[in-house]
Amino acid sequence: MKILITGGCGFIGSHVADRFYKEGHKIYIIDNLSTGNIENVEVPHKFYNLNIASKDCEEIFKSNRFDAVINLSAQVDVKTSIESPFVDSKSNLLGITNMLDLSHRYGVKRFIFASSAAVYGNTDKIPIKEDNLINPIAPYGMSKYVGEFYCRKWFEIYGLKTMCFRFSNVFGPRQGLKGESGVMSIFMNKVMENKELTVFGNGEQTRDFIYVEDVADGIYKAFESDYTGVLNLSTNTQYTLNELIDILRQFHKIKKVTYKENRPGDIRDSRLDNTRVKKILGWNPKYSFKEGVEKTYRWYNKYHDNESYEDDKEVIEAKKESKKSLWLKYMPYIENILGIVMVAFLNSYVLKNDDLSSSNFMDICYIYIVVISVVYGMKQSIISVVFSLGLYMYLLVEYGGYNIITIFYEPGSLIHIASYIIIGMISGYISDVNKRKLFLNKLKFDSIKEKYNLLELIYDETRSIKEELEDQVVNSENSFVSIYNATKALDSFEINDIYDGAIMTIEKLLKTSKVSIYSLSRDGKYLRLKSKSSSENFSLPYSINLDEFQEIKDVINNKVVFANKRLNDNLPIMIAPVVNGNKTIAVVSIHEFKFENLTLYYENLFRVLVELISNAIAKAYKYDEAVMVDKYIPNTEILVEKEFKKVLSNKIKNRKISGIDFTLVKVMNRIGSYEEIFPKLAVSIRDDDLIGIGDDDIYLVLSNTNEVKAKKALDRLSLNGIKTNVMGEIDYHV
């Protein structure tokens, strides 16, 4: 199935991605990487760098049609929610409403929302049950509770199956590397850096710690269930921060522990009751607190060891970027100074041949001001005007015989000064306007480019899926043509031929080499082996007592396909019923399957193939009824010689190919007519054994038996006055 995980690059999300991928699902991730890290996700996935509140998310839902959405994206820091409640609400509320709306509109079947124990606030009722009073003390808990409310309403109004988990304190590997911090990750990082630990309070406040892999397991079990509502996900235990520090001391020397005053918004004690989640989902935590801490410590220790060289490179790159940024910051001023120096030099050169009345002097200053204004805008334009005015006044005083006061009384000099200012202001203004337009156009272009890149990504994915489907339909082993050709083996009126053809068909289309078909005995208590794959080292019991296998009885009684998702070694991977009319007459089983083929697609294909087998057998039964006069001795189920030879030939072939044994028995004394002897024979043999005529003698074919196992049947025949002799197949000419 297609699973979308929002916040999938985060601490919890990456572990959830691991779990769903291991179960054979396709992983899609939406994450803006504000606190997540793309390197956290080690399994194949499709990644979209977006905020879950973005309108662009609709294109992703439209093109992929997800089966389930796991919403883990959120602002998770309580301190941030108190200091910036608007940021907290924007992140946690707009995102959840957008995801719920898109999930409803694009047919998502399951929506799981990550809430928090923070919705309960401070309470004296420990452990906290789901129906406890909701009283969050920080905006973070408030926004989570509102998210739960939205989920409930989307189920009530639109029928979207929503499920909310109130997590206790989740910890584990990958936490706290980029913003997703908790007390465990803070302590771990401090310990690795040999820094002192800071505890807010006396350290006796308690938390219900749960290891992240247990959380991922709970989310997966919720995905498989149909439950809607709210559940606590916790270990139902309490550990103080001082106890956590004592455990850490067992793995690492702690420098110092400092205790400070409690922070606002922190909860004193927390322990969530997990009775309901255990009962409803059948979930149980696998890791004890100490085991989880040890696994987390080992990961942090390994991470910090591998991080040193990367940190050195990052520091070097940061220094380079800092120097580059500093140079870019002061470069306009440097170029402005260099520009006025060059103008001053050129003016000095001009004044050797001309006086101040020469127009050449003014032209050079104009060029300088215009160039600086166009390149850098109004700010540097003003500086260039000031520099030009200063240079102009200096030259008037130095070479023109003016003093500072007389300059401002000279109309010509005032015109020059005004022209500098006017040209500088106009050039700087025009430059800033154009730059502002360019900046706005760049923003629009970047927005369009981002939209285009997203659409291009979705287009490429859609095209890839389209080509894959085309290839599957036209060229793959599971194309309609291949399925038609493979199922032609079922086109027979002989039930035994259909069984053999079914084995070959399933082997080919489901890519397996171990398939069996068992028929159901008339009393419904046993299964008898009818046909199986001819693979080496593939042996099966000839008879199965159904009282020992409830799962197989359920397949027969309920007429449903069974998938061995718990990988029980005593059961096949998949079992399906063969139904004739409204009665199960046999079961088809697959005993070996490639892990990557354990998907809903192959399960559905198996179901379709078994339905084809059922239809073929129903057709064979109808044919059998129609030709019963020609096939059996009248008023008996004794096969005429022609039909008996067919059956015997088929049995011999099955023994050679599949190793399914049989015993051929000849009746030595003929007691009365066929009608008289048939009842005595029928009561002494099983319902899958056969009676037939050969060379005017009566023969029995005891299915799935060798000579040793056939002795019981022969003894029963003897008690009924029938003498028999076991024959080899070479003793009877087929």
| Weakest mean pLDDT among 270-284, 454-468, 685-699 | 454-468
- pLDDT interval class at 494 (50, 70, 90): low
Give the SS3 label for residue 130: coil
CATH code for 630-731? 3.30.70.270
Give phi and psi for 207, each to the nearest 5.
-135, 150
Tell me how far apart the alpha carbons of residues 331 and 384 are, in angstroms, rounded to a whole number. 14
- pLDDT interval class at 733 (50, 70, 90): low
pLDDT in tens, 394-432: 877 777 677 777 777 777 778 878 888 998 899 889 988
Asked if 689 contacts 702 with a C-beta cutoff of 8 angstroms, the reply is yes
Q: Would residue 323 be called left, alpha or beta, if left means φ above 0 and alpha means ψ between -120 and 50 degrees? A: alpha
Catalytic residue numbers?
Answer: 140
pLDDT in tens, 575-585: 988 888 788 88
pLDDT in tens, 233-252: 999 999 999 999 999 999 88
User: In 3D, which of 606, 582, 620 has the Cα closest to residue 499?
Assistant: 620
Tell me how far apart the alpha carbons of residues 665 and 702 are, in angstroms, rounded to a whole number. 8
Longest dimension (CA), the chain: 155
**Predicted pLDDT of residue 158:** 93
- pLDDT interval class at 47 (50, 70, 90): very high
Average pLDDT over residues 155-170: 94
**Predicted pLDDT of residue 315:** 47
**Predicted pLDDT of residue 292:** 92
What type of residue is 545?
N
Q: What is the DSSP string of 234-280?
A: S----EEHHHHHHHHHTTS----EEEEPPPTT--SB--B--HHHHHH
- pLDDT interval class at 146 (50, 70, 90): very high
- Is residue 295 exposed (0-12), middle (13-18) or buried (19+ Cβ within 10 Å)? middle
The superfamily CATH assigns to domain 480-626 is GAF domain (3.30.450.40)
Tell me how far apart the alpha carbons of residues 412 and 414 are, in angstroms, rounded to a whole number. 5
Asked if 103 contacts 43 with a C-beta cutoff of 8 angstroms, the reply is no
- pLDDT interval class at 93 (50, 70, 90): confident
Average pLDDT over residues 595-602: 71
> Given a cut of 70, is residue 469 above it in pLDDT?
no
Peptide bond into 85 cis (omega under 30): no
> Given a cut of 50, is residue 344 above it in pLDDT?
yes
Q: By 3-state DSSP, what share of the chain in percent is helix, strand and coil, each rounded to 5?
A: 55, 15, 30
Residues 461, 465, 468: CA angle, nearest 5 degrees:
140
- pLDDT interval class at 596 (50, 70, 90): low
Element (H, E) at 211: strand 209-211
pLDDT in tens, 273-332: 999 999 999 999 999 999 999 999 999 888 776 654 344 444 455 556 666 666 777 888
Tell me how far apart the alpha carbons of residues 75 and 147 are, in angstroms, rounded to a whole number. 13
Tell me how far apart the alpha carbons of residues 76 and 116 are, in angstroms, rounded to a whole number. 9
**Is pLDDT larger for residue 720 or for residue 214?**
214
> Given a cut of 70, is residue 177 above it in pLDDT?
no
> Given a cut of 90, is residue 32 above it in pLDDT?
no
| Weakest mean pLDDT among 46-50, 149-153, 362-366, 589-593 | 362-366
pLDDT in tens, 95-106: 899 999 999 999
- pLDDT interval class at 367 (50, 70, 90): confident
Token digits of residue 327: 């140079």
- pLDDT interval class at 118 (50, 70, 90): confident
Q: How high does pLDDT run on average in the chain?
A: 82
- pLDDT interval class at 29 (50, 70, 90): very high
625-637 burial string, b = 16+ CB within 10 Å, else e? eeeeeebbbeebe
Q: Does domain 2-176+208-236+269-287 have CATH number 3.60.9.10?
A: no
> Given a cut of 60, is residue 129 above it in pLDDT?
yes
User: In 3D, which of 338, 366, 375 has the Cα closest to residue 424?
Assistant: 366
- pLDDT interval class at 212 (50, 70, 90): very high
Which residue bears the tokens 């608007």? Answer: 86
pLDDT in tens, 664-692: 888 888 778 888 888 888 888 877 788 88
Average pLDDT over residues 530-534: 81
Token digits of residue 119: 């919705």
Average pLDDT over residues 602-622: 78
> Given a cut of 70, is residue 353 above it in pLDDT?
no
Tell me how far apart the alpha carbons of residues 130 and 497 are, in angstroms, rounded to a whole number. 59
Q: pTM here?
A: 0.54
Domain map (residue ranges) of the chain: 2-176+208-236+269-287, 332-450, 480-626, 630-731
**Predicted pLDDT of residue 284:** 93
Element (H, E) at 142: helix 139-158
**Predicted pLDDT of residue 101:** 94
